[in-house]
Amino acid sequence: MRYDTVVGLEVHIQLNTATKAFCGDALSFGEKANTHVSAISLAHPGTLPVVNKNQIDKAIQLGLALNCKINEYNFFDRKHYFYPDLPKGYQITQDNEPICIGGHLEISVNGRSKKVKIHHIHMEEDAGKTIHDQHKSLSLVDLNRAGTPLLELVTEPDLSSSEEVYQFIAELQKLLRYIDVSDADMEKGSMRCDCNVSVKPAGSTTLGERCEIKNLNSKRFAKEAVEYEAKRQIEMIENGISFSKQTLHYNVEQKKTQALREKEGAEDYRYFPDPDLAPIKISSEHVDSLKEQMPKLPWVLKAELVERHQLKSEHADVLTQDPDFGNYFFELNHVLQAPQLVSNFIINQLLPTISSLDINISQLEISNEQVVQYLDLIKANKISSSIASQRLWPSLLENKQRSPLELAQELELIINDDDDFVQTLIDSVISENPAQVAQYKRGKKNVIGFFVGAIMRKSKGAINPKTIQSKLIEALNN
Ligand code: ADP
Ligand code: MG
């Protein structure tokens, strides 16, 4: 029998606000344990939470970008559970009335695009960290993360392959960075993903029993885990083994999903509205003003690059990978008005360079003026693009303060189409190779290539091969 894979995601997104969700403690990462913990983070009796307006605004902005309906009337609920890194004994979250409802995110897999439906996005707070590997007999608690504002985005069970899961996470990550809502860095835990996976007979409209793989911290692991889990479920079904809803963990070393605990029902959490936090009404004027402040979204930018600047779709994909890339493209292209040249440069030279140096564009220490001058040499046919990338660019990287034009002159890379210069080279190559001249005269026309190569070598790449041909043939025929 053939099976369909069905996946729904629950993605936790740490917001990049300055302070925590319900108190003034600064957000921190990798700092000394328990240095950002006020009495509120510690849940001392009598302390009261205060809503962070930035959390609400960032939630609305994400909702607007995903075409969600923004809930006008919002309140927070308490979700109770016991955990050593949750001092209050409950998490502040939103249960029945999430801030964003519906919406979709478009992804593209193998050239086919698909709108993945979103169920809702709600606001909540992160717990602290329990650390088990720093002491031989004790577990340690760090509350720096406790109270970090989170959004939880829940999709419909709308994804149908591990590749779609990978693409969804990648697209969401990109969007979050564009609209400055989160750094979405999964390695740091700023974004974590639970994958709900089930399988069903191909084409069936009834969903199968699902398992939930918790807390995946990379796109690749999410992809691997979904693939493994779907296979595992199919095998069980084929062998007549029934299974019930389970919470799983993905073991990245063994590349296997493993049982974590039986899944709790919602009733265990005893949700109720948090009486310490007043309801929040979001006006349509406020939503409109956030809409106006919204930066250009990655897919809008991509369409612009393809339609207005005539770039290939795959190139536009690379340039919209990171807001920095697109900005850089526009800065250079504004001066050069040569989208293809600028795009080729960014994709084939700049990105490999910054990735091998492990830096970002702003750390390159080569100014836009220098890059414009460098590209202008290619645009004006003063240097061939292959010589530029093989010789001038590496030289510029070693001499970051120098002018590309001066460097090109010193290295004798400037194309010299001066007639006398070209003629001298042709004459000397002809007189040095009488055997090949004789071959040519006997009718072996493809020795032309040999002569062009020899002339180019003599010129050290400093002439344009296209200008040689006619002069060369003329000289050979004499
Ligand atoms: P819970 O409250 O138990 O976590 P939800 O109904 O809120 O369950 O769904 C959580 C996630 O599981 C959603 O992303 C949803 O799309 C997904 N999901 C629900 N049913 C299935 C299923 N049969 N197969 C795969 N994913 C599912
Ligand atoms: Mg859930």
Check whether 267 has a pLDDT greater than 70: no
Q: Are residues 282 and 424 part of one domain?
A: no
Averaged pLDDT score across all residues of the chain: 93
Question: How far apart, in whole angstroms, are the C-alpha atoms of residue 22 and residue 277?
Answer: 10
DSSP characters over 75-99:
--EEEE---TT-TTSEEEE-SSS-S
Check whether 265 has a pLDDT greater than 70: no
For ligand 1, the distance from its centroid to the CA atom of residue 342, given in whole angstroms, is 45
Tally of domains within the chain: 2
Q: Is 296 a domain residue?
A: no
Q: Is 297 a domain residue?
A: no
Residue 395: pLDDT band with limits 50, 70, 90: very high
Q: Is 352 a domain residue?
A: no
- Burial of residue 458 (CB within 10 Å: 0-12, 13-18, 19+) is middle
Contact assessment for residue 144 and residue 36, using Cβ atoms and an 8 Å cutoff = yes
The pLDDT > 90 percentage for the chain reads 79
For ligand 1, the distance from its centroid to the CA atom of residue 385, given in whole angstroms, is 53
Q: Ligand 1 atom 14: the closest Cα is on which residue?
A: 8
For ligand 1, the distance from its centroid to the CA atom of residue 206, given in whole angstroms, is 14
pLDDT of residue 459: 79
Q: What average pLDDT score do residues 136-158 get?
A: 97
- Residue with the two structure tokens 């885990």: 225
pLDDT of residue 472: 87
Residue of 196, 209, 263, 267 best suited for mutating to test ligand 1, as the one with most atoms within 8 Å of CB? 196
Q: Ligand 1 atom 7: the closest Cα is on which residue?
A: 154
11 lines ligand 1 (CB under 6 A): no
Q: Which of 286, 303, 324 is the last residue of a domain?
A: 286
**Tokens found for residue 219:** 């796109």
pLDDT of residue 384: 86
pLDDT of residue 422: 82
For ligand 2, the distance from its centroid to the CA atom of residue 401, given in whole angstroms, is 55
Which ligand is in closest contact with the Cα of 196?
Answer: 1
- Antiparallel, parallel or unpaired: β 211-216 and 246-251: parallel
pLDDT of residue 52: 97
Q: What average pLDDT score do residues 296-304 get?
A: 94
Give the number of other CB atoms < 10 A from CB of residue 437: 17
pLDDT of residue 266: 52
- Amino acid letter, 452: V
Q: Which of 251, 286, 321 is the last residue of a domain?
A: 286
Q: Is 368 a domain residue?
A: no
User: How far apart, in Å, are the Cα atoms of 11 and each of 8, 53, 104, 280?
Assistant: 10, 22, 14, 24
Q: Is 214 a domain residue?
A: yes
Q: Is 410 a domain residue?
A: no
Q: What average pLDDT score do residues 93-108 get?
A: 97
Per residue in 356-387, pLDDT tens? 999 999 999 999 999 999 999 999 988 988 88
Q: At how many degrees (to 10) do helices 53-65 and 162-178 cross?
A: 130
Question: How far apart, in whole angstroms, are the C-alpha atoms of residue 274 and residue 276?
Answer: 5
Per residue in 5-17, pLDDT tens? 999 999 999 999 9
Q: Is 388 a domain residue?
A: no
Q: Are residues 426 and 278 part of one domain?
A: no
Which ligand is in closest contact with the Cα of 211?
Answer: 1
Which ligand is in closest contact with the Cα of 121?
Answer: 1
User: Residue 456's domain is classified under what CATH number?
Assistant: 1.10.10.410
Check whether 264 has a pLDDT greater than 60: no
The closest of 188, 190, 210, 183 to 199, measured between CA atoms, is 210
Residue 258: pLDDT band with limits 50, 70, 90: very high
Closest-lying ligand 1 atom to the alpha carbon of residue 158: 16
Residue 453: pLDDT band with limits 50, 70, 90: confident
10 lines ligand 1 (CB under 6 A): yes
DSSP element (H, E) containing 4: strand 3-14
154 lines ligand 1 (CB under 6 A): yes
For ligand 1, the distance from its centroid to the CA atom of residue 157, given in whole angstroms, is 6
Q: Is 172 a domain residue?
A: yes
Q: Ligand 1 atom 1: the closest Cα is on which residue?
A: 266
The closest of 101, 17, 96, 16 to 53, measured between CA atoms, is 17
Domain carrying residue 12: 3-286
Q: Which of 286, 318, 338 is the last residue of a domain?
A: 286
Q: What average pLDDT score do residues 26-31 get?
A: 94
pLDDT of residue 448: 87
Which DSSP state fits 45? T
Per residue in 53-89, pLDDT tens? 999 999 999 999 999 999 999 999 999 988 889 999 9
pLDDT of residue 90: 96
Q: State pTM to two decimals.
A: 0.83
Which ligand is in closest contact with the Cα of 124?
Answer: 2
pLDDT of residue 260: 81
DSSP element (H, E) containing 302: helix 298-307
pLDDT of residue 345: 97
- Antiparallel, parallel or unpaired: β 112-125 and 100-101: antiparallel
